[in-house]
Copies of this chain bind each other. A is one copy, B any other.
Amino acid sequence: MYSVRELLEITESELASLAYPVSPDGLYAPMRYALEGGGKRIRPVLVLMGCNLFRESVTAARPAALAVEVFHNFTLLHDDIMDHSDTRRGKPSVYKKWNENTAILSGDMMLIYAYRLLNRCEESLVPRLLDAFNEIALGVCEGQQYDMDFETREDVSVDEYLEMIRLKTAVLLGGALQLGAICGGASAEQTELLYRFGLNIGLAFQLQDDLLDTYGDPAILGKPVGEDILAGKKNFLLSKALSMTDENGRIELLSLLRNQEMPAADKIAAVKAIYDRLDLKTITEQQIAAYFGNAFHTLEVLDIDSERLKPLRELASGLLNRQK
């Protein structure tokens, strides 16, 4: 059985051994740049972990782990264009370093490359892996579309927001475990339970992100807090706040967010004061704890030795207690 650390090392060595075609350089250099640019590698580690629950060796899941990481980086290339994000992991994003066309086409190529990697898995598993992968990938696209749709809407409900992050973020974390479990020879029921575990962890992970944006420590986060507030982003705290206030409170909050003249620090403080009044920190923490509770409950249903689940528990708990 591998530890989280060992699975991370396997992931990095697999990524380092990926063969990139040399030509056309304009197509493959951005892929190398994106994949060598770091990242937490949570998704490929989850793939390997999903496999390792059922098999001593994770060799069978290596191509799927790479496929998931390449897919994830493809979404970042395209999302950064759509969201006008100029930096990624402290470096210029691909569309900034090169240009939009490069980010579009290299991203397309990475998506295709992900499928190519997937097809290196054990042949008899390919149709099932492909089916799972397609549903995951479509979910992620749908999530990104809802996220963009929400930018121009002021009536996003909490349920709509949760459905959006389920698609955009959680499905890929659940899907990573699902693909790994398939490679490991898990039953359909076990695979489904692991998918649900990852889904709940993913939802908790995103709410944690939303919480840290307002209540995190900028020194630990490595970036200023309140970015979602300044961008008027419909995150969990905002959609929850809007659902809890009456019409006057709603108008007050929305006009605060729309106010372009107010100094940034004042705006963040004013919105935070509303969130404090509504006790949103506690409410969000409770919601996160509920998702974690759901997640760990599915692990109990899973007929796997508790010792074997340790790395998965360790990874998930690390995400729950993170400060950045």
The residues of A with any CB-CB pair to B shorter than 8 Å are 23-24, 26-27, 78, 81-82, 100-101, 104-105, 107-109, 111-113, 115-116, 119, 123, 126-127, 130-131, 133-134, 137-138, 141-142, 144-146, 148-149
Contact = CB atoms under 8 A, between A and B. Distances in A.
A126 B131 CA distance: 11
A101 B152 CA distance: 14
A119 B134 contact: yes
A24 B145 contact: yes
B145 A26 contact: yes
B123 A104 contact: no
A75 B24 CA distance: 18
A134 to B, nearest CB: 4
A182 to B, nearest CB: 14
A104 B82 contact: yes
A119 B123 CA distance: 13
Contacts of A112: 111, 134, 137-138, 141
B116 A134 contact: yes
Contacts of A142: 23-24, 27, 109
Contacts of A141: 27, 105, 108-109, 112
Copies of this chain in the oligomer = 2
A219 to B, nearest CB: 35
Contacts of A115: 115, 130, 133-134
Contacts of A100: 81, 100
B127 A119 contact: yes
B81 A104 contact: yes
Contacts of A126: 126-127, 130
A262 B148 CA distance: 45
Contacts of A78: 104-105, 108
Nearest to A75: B108
Nearest to A27: B145
Given A26-B148, A101-B148, A116-B134, 13 more contacts: A26-B149, A27-B142, A81-B104, A82-B101, A82-B105, A104-B104, A105-B145, A112-B134, A113-B138, A115-B115, A119-B130, A119-B134, A127-B127
A30 to B, nearest CB: 10
A47 to B, nearest CB: 18
A96 to B, nearest CB: 16
A282 to B, nearest CB: 32
A141 B116 CA distance: 14
A133 B23 CA distance: 20
A103 to B, nearest CB: 9
A314 to B, nearest CB: 33
